[in-house]
Amino acid sequence: MMSISMTAPQRAAAIRKAVRAIRRGSIASYGEVARSAGLPGRARLVGQVLRESGDEPRLPWHRVTGAGGRIAFPAGSANAREQLARLAREGVAARGNRVIPKRKPVSGRSLDALLWKM
C-alpha cells in the first residue's frame, strides 16, 4: 500500500495505474480506485486526476463511477452520454444515470438447496 505522503505526480500515476487495471465490462467507484491506488479517502483526488488527464490514450475513465454505480456527470449531458455509450459498448447496462450491477449467477442449485444446504 502506498503512502499518502507521495508527491502529486506519484499520486496521479498511482491513480492512473489503478484506473487502467479496471477490466473491460467492469466498473469501480472513485473510492475504490483511491483505495486501489493506496490513497484511501481520496475519492475526490481521483476525479481531479481524471479531469486533468483529458482523453489520455488507454485510460478507461468511463469505468469509474460514483458510489452505487452513479454516473458523476449531470444526466443527459454530453459527458454522461459518452460515458454511458462507452460502458454499453463493453456490455455494461444502465438505467437513467446509474449503472445496473451485474448479477452473479447462482450455482445451478435450487434456492431451497442453497438455503437449507441440501
3-state secondary structure of 65: strand
Domains of the chain listed by start with CATH number: 8-116 (1.10.10.10)
Looking at residues 93-117, what average pLDDT do you find?
A: 74
Show the cell assigned to 28.
Answer: 469501480
Residue linked to cell 445451478: 108
Query: Of 18, 3, 100, 2, which is closest to residue 60 (Cα–Cα)?
Result: 18
Statement: residue 116 has pLDDT above 80: no
45-84 in b/e burial notation, b at 16+ Cβ within 10 A? bbbebbeeeeeeeebbbbbbbbeebebbbeeeeeebeebb
Q: Which residue has the higher pLDDT, 85 or 117?
A: 85
Q: Where are the alpha helices (DSSP H) in 1-118?
A: 8-20, 30-36, 43-53, 78-89, 111-116
Q: Which residue has the cell 484511501?
A: 40
Q: pLDDT tens, 43-90? A: 999 999 999 998 788 899 999 999 999 999 999 999 999 999 999 999
Q: Which three cell numbers stand for residue 108?
A: 445451478
**Residue 70 confidence (pLDDT):** 96
